[in-house]
Structure formats: structure tokens, C-alpha cells
Structure 1
């Protein structure tokens, strides 16, 4: 099953505003300011390609639950967590950096000391499905 990430409005505005603003400033500087070749390359990389990459990551953040793995996909990145390694899941608002676009998150503990924060749109449904598929899972 595929679960899209919940997106907080304030976070979407912050991401979109800063990325589009950065792209606009970079394009303006490349077009209207007299720049050397290396300055144009730097502006292109830092003010256009990097923000486009960040938007790509935001657009593609989702979580897949199959019979054996939880797969976290965000941009070109993919994290595969075997379901039999997941030991705990709980609701949280932890603001640590993670593949989550909302502060309404789930903290998933796996292996012995590993942790990931995700933000599926329907946290309760996600927890129910996870509880049904994971033998050793505890819900807090």
C-alpha cells in the first residue's frame, strides 16, 4: 500500500516560497548582472538546480508498505526497512530532520538503535496496517 506524506500548510509555504524565491534571485542575477562564467555556473547550481532538487524531494515523498518491507521514498532516495526489524511505533511531533512534510509524525524504531520519522496522511490507518504486518511491534 502506498501512503503519501501529510503536508503542513506552513511548511509547504515555507518550502515553496524559499525555493521559488531562490530560483528567481538566481535567474535575475544570471540575466541582469554581468557575471563571469564561474559565477553563472555557481548561481545555476546553487540558486536553480539545488532548489529544483529540493522541490523534487518534496513532491515524491511517500511510504510503501508491502509484505516484507517499509519503503520510504523521497526524491532519488529510498530507505528499505524490513518489517521484522521494526520494534516500536508511536505518534510524535519531533521536529528533527526526516523524510516527513508534517510535524504530525510517526516515530519508528527498528533494528537495535535505529529510528526514522515519517508523516503518512492517515497515521491511524498506517499504524493499524503496520501492527498487522509486524510480529515484534509495540505501539505506544
Structure 2
């Protein structure tokens, strides 16, 4: 299998929020340069914040190859080796986007929760097993590609992926 690219699914509410905040940051950033006492640092910081929000909105995707899942969310990225994945669950909850002990690289309420182990068996903050929430546009296609790529994973009774016994 070659490297497969899966774009992120973006809910309209998240899209509206990110685009709206980016436009506001750009507008206020440009306005900062034209105040009677210009605030160049504030303007530059607002422009950079707008660029960050736009890049998260426009450049979130997931790559799958023979060795790893690479997650990119704007300028941020995360890599998970396939041999470290212990469980993949289909999820559908807006609350997963707002809280919990997992990294959120999802822009939709419908996604996949990937749980994995670190080579050193360390937990995050000593409490939580590492997990990442993603939202591929075609969740089932990504799920099937992950199942065919991971030799140590099998379909569980509830329709998720788990380690083979």
C-alpha cells in the first residue's frame, strides 16, 4: 500500500467558527496599523492568529502508509506508528471536541478515536493512555484502510478495531 491521503471532514459550525474568527483577526490586525497610535506588535499577532486559524481550517488531513498514521492540523502534526495502535473506535459526539484526555485533530463530531501505547508504556501525565481524535471525510474508508494495513488489528463485536488475542 502506498501513502493514502484522507482529507478531514469539517462540520459547518466548526467551519463557520474558524472562518469567522480568522476574518475577525485579519480585520482587526490590519486595523491596528491605522490607529492614531499604531500597535504594530498587536497587528502582527492578530494577523498571525488569523493565519493559524485559517491553516487549521484548510489544512487538516490524515495520511496512512505501511508504518504510521500521520495527522496534520494546520502547522501541527502528530505521528502514530501502526504497531502501537491498540484500539480504534467510531465516535459521534460533539462533546469529544471540547474535553477529555485526548488530542483533538478533528473538525467534525463524527470521527475515530485512536488509542495507542507508547514504547515506554508511559501514560499522559501519569494518568491517561494516549489517544487521538480524528475526523476523516470518509470515515469508513479510512477505517477499512487501517484494518487492511494493521496486521495486529481485528474487527471487534461492536464494529470497532482491537488487538488480536
* TM-score tier after normalising by the smaller chain length: 0.7 to 0.9
Quick one: distance in 2 between partners of 1:42 and 1:26? Answer: 7
Q: Does 1:10 align with 2:13?
A: yes
Tell me, which stretches of 5 or more residues in structure 2 are unaligned?
122-128, 155-159
Larger RCO (CA within 8 A; separation ≥ 6): 1
- Aligned CA RMSD, in angstroms, stands at 1.7
Q: Contact 2:30 / 2:47 at 8 angstroms: preserved in 1? A: yes
> In the TM superposition, what whole-angstrom CA distance separates every residue of 1:82-134 from its partner, at most 9, and x where no partner exists?
11111111111222461111111110001152100000001111111111112
Tell me, which stretches of 5 or more residues in structure 1 are unaligned?
none
Higher helix share: 1
Q: Please give the residue correspondences for 1:81-120 in structure 2 after superposition, counting only pairs within 5 Å.
A: 81-92=80-91, 93=93, 94-96=96-98, 98-111=104-117, 113-120=129-136
Give SS of 1:34's match.
Answer: coil
Aligned to 1:125: 141
Aligned to 2:33: 30
Q: Contact 1:89 / 1:137 at 8 angstroms: preserved in 2? A: no
TM-score by length of 2: 0.75
Q: Contact 2:32 / 2:42 at 8 angstroms: preserved in 1? A: no
How big is the shift at 1:16? 0.5
Q: Contact 2:56 / 2:73 at 8 angstroms: preserved in 1? A: yes
Q: How many residues align?
A: 136
Quick one: distance in 2 between partners of 1:120 and 1:127? Answer: 9
Aligned to 1:60: 59
Any runs of at least 4 consecutive aligned residues in structure 1 with deviations exceeding 3 A, and if so which?
A: none
TM-score by length of 1: 0.88
